[in-house]
Amino acid sequence: MRQAGPVAPERFEVAVTPPYPVRVGPGVLSGLASLTPGGRVALIADENAGARYGDEAADALAADGRQVLRLRVPSGEDAKRIEVWAELLGRLARAGFARDDAVVALGGGVTCDLAGYVGAAYMRGIAVVHVPTTVLAMADAAIGGKTAVNLPEGKNLVGAFWQPRAVLMDVRTLRSLPPRVFMQGTVEVFKHGLLADPALAEAVVSGALAPDADDAALTRWLAASGRVKAAVVAGDAREDGARAHLNLGHTLGHALEAASGHRLTHGDAVAWGLLYAAYLSPRVLDVDDAEEAQALVRRLIRTVAPAPPPAASWDELAPFLGRDKKTRGGRRHWVLMRAPGRPTLQHGVPEDAERAAWEAFLADPVQAERAAAELPAAKGEA
Amino acid sequence: MRQAGPVAPERFEVAVTPPYPVRVGPGVLSGLASLTPGGRVALIADENAGARYGDEAADALAADGRQVLRLRVPSGEDAKRIEVWAELLGRLARAGFARDDAVVALGGGVTCDLAGYVGAAYMRGIAVVHVPTTVLAMADAAIGGKTAVNLPEGKNLVGAFWQPRAVLMDVRTLRSLPPRVFMQGTVEVFKHGLLADPALAEAVVSGALAPDADDAALTRWLAASGRVKAAVVAGDAREDGARAHLNLGHTLGHALEAASGHRLTHGDAVAWGLLYAAYLSPRVLDVDDAEEAQALVRRLIRTVAPAPPPAASWDELAPFLGRDKKTRGGRRHWVLMRAPGRPTLQHGVPEDAERAAWEAFLADPVQAERAAAELPAAKGEA
């Protein structure tokens, strides 16, 4: 058996019904079988994670006497299609999977969303275990039970709330991530810190959660992030109330992704969305100190170094903000901050405030810094 | 406004979380808008029900200021395909449906299953209202929240438990059913009577629930059937315990459907499945009076007049019984009856008992009666 090393895993529970355990640490993948129910297990992995960790996961299950069906899905957002999902369901059916069998998702957020929705739908729902292998998936997709695939008409339009039976975050799997991808994932970790854990936000902006961090730091901060998400989800499993706070930075972030033709990644877009929220909040709410959140997010952006947002006017951007974000009167609702640690869902924000915040956002000094920094890098990558 | 006539609707609630109302009676369709949430409503109807009742349903919604998207699906089991379901989801997306909009299913069991799964999946779940227009759909698909589509590998393999917000059973819609289809639907009503309501079972076998029954009788007996199902579902919304009793007659019924190449209809197959259960029960359980249930189901078969079961030996039939019905030791579990009103889920039934019950089932006098009765009818229909 593989040794877990000197760093002890962190453990906590997501207190939905039924509650499920989360394990964070180096080597927790070796405990996969004990947390996975079922005689047959469909191990659904994306190409990257499957090639690197698929054998270890399959061996851990087979050593416990499970019959393992290994299924490979493409890496990247394009895998989240109904056709891919339907093919996976057919594979389970042809292998004779029954209601007491299980799915293990091994990979990034796309794999967790897709394989989670396979588990949610097969025979109206079988057990799912998530083994996220990216910072973003550990911070976001693996905890909370949101599963989905895309339609040509939009992302995540088809899915289910389907809580996993367990989540294993083996921080060793982060060692193979490209540094840019690692850092983009830390934006969601920062968001959790901004919502509820100041020390966690500070860890991200100070560079303590970075590709060169040791196992102890990775374990500590990813567990801290997971605990924030678990607490929010446990209070609101179906997203009717406080769970909406997790969308901090996402309303504008999604619009930026769409307006850029999805050249801007999710993490980069949410980083900018958080900066925008820091400018919109004082225009709509009584805030203690408008500049506190702005300064904190500015440090995030200098740390994560997102690609610049698309150069769009408010009128060009507004159509991408999505009809479902509007209240009946035509005004949008936004997740805003009274102060770090004090989020609020604000209904009916006037468009003048949205527009003025966008102007202030464009005038923030980090915009010029990022644009200048990107130029040589963009040339180098081309 | 249309008058509901002198027969008052019956009302009851399915006590899941959140509870939802069921209305049964002539003319209850006119109250559709008040029980349907959402600004936009996708009215998903099969060809038969849509042609007959689609305008009335759409008008009732439009008169209340709703924006109605009318979607037509083919009649028959072939509509329950992932491709049809995905196309419906795309139509909702292109019409800009949001999380607070709704789906109304208008039609038989196929339409309730398919449209229900559209509602379950769109944006991870929006409100669904069922308006079943067949006896079978009123007795079975509309109450309980089981939604599904088929895979080429098997029926109902993909779906969700998704409770509707309301169920409207307008008994006038049964007036246009072919008498054979009406009677086949009464098999599930009888099953509910056999499980928990002797007067309801007697109503079916005595012909009180039949195409020529008046509105009062249709309302009374379909409400009684719905109340049995509602009570079972409320106790066990996700089918882990007592809900399994609703599968009485279905394990063998599904095998007969499959063994006949799906020429035998669901209602006919379940009628035979109930007779088989009446023969298997005394071979496995202490029963008060083995012949009581056999005699009652024999009366059902004379009333409903199902097509004969396929002429198969036990060894030919057994492969169609389904791997998921087997316990780990290779023995099957069956829903059996100690007496009318006393169902039980029996694990690990020995195969000798199954085989002996099949021989006794084939020797029952109704087999010869049905075979003789079918010959001229089959010729006439060919």
A221-270 pLDDT, tens digit per residue, is: 999 999 999 999 998 766 667 888 999 999 999 999 999 998 999 999 99
ipTM score here? 0.92
Q: Are A120 and A162 in contact (CB under 8 A)?
A: yes
Q: Which of B93, B153, B159 sits opposite A124 (nearest CB)?
A: B159
Chain A neighbors of B82, CB-CB under 8 A:
82, 86
pLDDT of residue B380: 44
One pLDDT digit (tens) per residue for chain B, 382 residues: 344 458 999 999 999 999 999 999 999 999 999 999 989 999 999 999 999 999 999 999 999 999 999 999 999 889 999 999 999 999 999 999 999 999 999 999 999 999 999 999 999 999 999 999 999 999 999 999 999 999 999 889 999 999 999 999 999 999 999 999 999 999 999 999 999 999 999 999 999 999 999 999 999 999 999 999 999 999 876 666 788 899 999 999 999 999 999 899 999 999 999 999 999 999 999 998 989 999 999 999 999 999 999 989 999 999 998 755 565 567 899 999 999 999 999 988 999 999 999 999 999 999 999 988 877 654 444 3
A 10 A CB-CB count for B64 gives 12
Distance in Å, alpha carbon of A82 to nearest chain B alpha carbon? 8
A 10 A CB-CB count for B35 gives 19
Q: Are A351 and A334 in contact (CB under 8 A)?
A: no
Interchain contact, B160 vs A124, CB within 8 Å: yes
Q: Which of A82, A125, A160 sits opposite B86 (nearest CB)?
A: A82
Cα B157 to its chain centre, rounded Å, is 17
Q: Which residues pair with B184 in a beta bridge?
A: none
Interchain contact, A93 vs B157, CB within 8 Å: yes
DSSP A133-153: -SHHIIIIITSS-EEEEEETT
What whole-number distance in Å separates Cα of residue A298 and Cα of residue A293? 8
A129 pLDDT band, cuts 50/70/90, is very high
Q: Map tokens 């039970």 to a residue.
A: A145
Which residue does chain A place closest to B39, by CA atoms? A328
What phi and psi values does residue B366 have, to the nearest 5 degrees? Answer: -65, -20
A157, A247, A327, best to mutate vs chain B, most B CBs in 10 Å: A157
Among A105-114, A342-351, B64-73, B103-112, which is the least confidently predicted range?
A: A342-351
Catalytic residue numbers of B, as ranges: 124, 146, 188, 229, 239, 243, 247, 250, 254, 266
| Residue (of B128, B161, B133) closest to B147 by Cα position | B161
Chain A neighbors of B160, CB-CB under 8 A:
120-121, 124-125, 160
Q: Are A130 and A168 in contact (CB under 8 A)?
A: yes
pLDDT of residue B264: 95
Chain B neighbors of A146, CB-CB under 8 A:
124
Which residue type sits at B51? A
Interchain contact, B96 vs A146, CB within 8 Å: no
Q: Which of B89, B96, B324 sits opposite A323 (nearest CB)?
A: B96
Interchain contact, B98 vs A158, CB within 8 Å: no
Which residue does chain B place closest to A324, by CA atoms? B98
Flag whether pLDDT at A298 surpasses 80. yes
Catalytic residue numbers of A, as ranges: 124, 146, 188, 229, 239, 243, 247, 250, 254, 266
A111: Cβ–Cβ under 8 A, 6 or more apart, which residues?
A44, A45, A46, A49, A73, A79, A105, A137
Cα distances from A44 to residues A107, A131, B259, in angstroms, run 8, 10, 34
Flag whether pLDDT at A324 surpasses 70. no
Flag whether pLDDT at A381 surpasses 50. no
Cα distances from B210 to residues B184, B188, B213, B294, B306, in angstroms, run 10, 13, 5, 22, 15
What pTM value is reported for the model? 0.93
- Give the DSSP H/E element, type plus range, for residue A169: strand A166-170
Q: Which of B90, B125, B160 sits opposite A121 (nearest CB)?
A: B160
What phi and psi values does residue A49 have, to the nearest 5 degrees? Answer: -65, -35
What whole-number distance in Å separates Cα of residue A122 and Cα of residue B73? 23
Size of interface A-B (CB pairs under 8 A): 76
DSSP state of A191: H
Q: What is the pLDDT of residues B57-83, one digit of tens each?
A: 999 999 999 999 999 999 988 999 999
| Beta strands in chain B, from DSSP E residues, in sequence order | 10-14, 20-25, 40-46, 67-73, 102-107, 127-132, 146-151, 154-161, 166-170, 332-337, 343-349
Q: Are B3 and B148 in contact (CB under 8 A)?
A: no
B221: Cβ–Cβ under 8 A, 6 or more apart, which residues?
B189, B200, B203, B204, B208, B209, B213
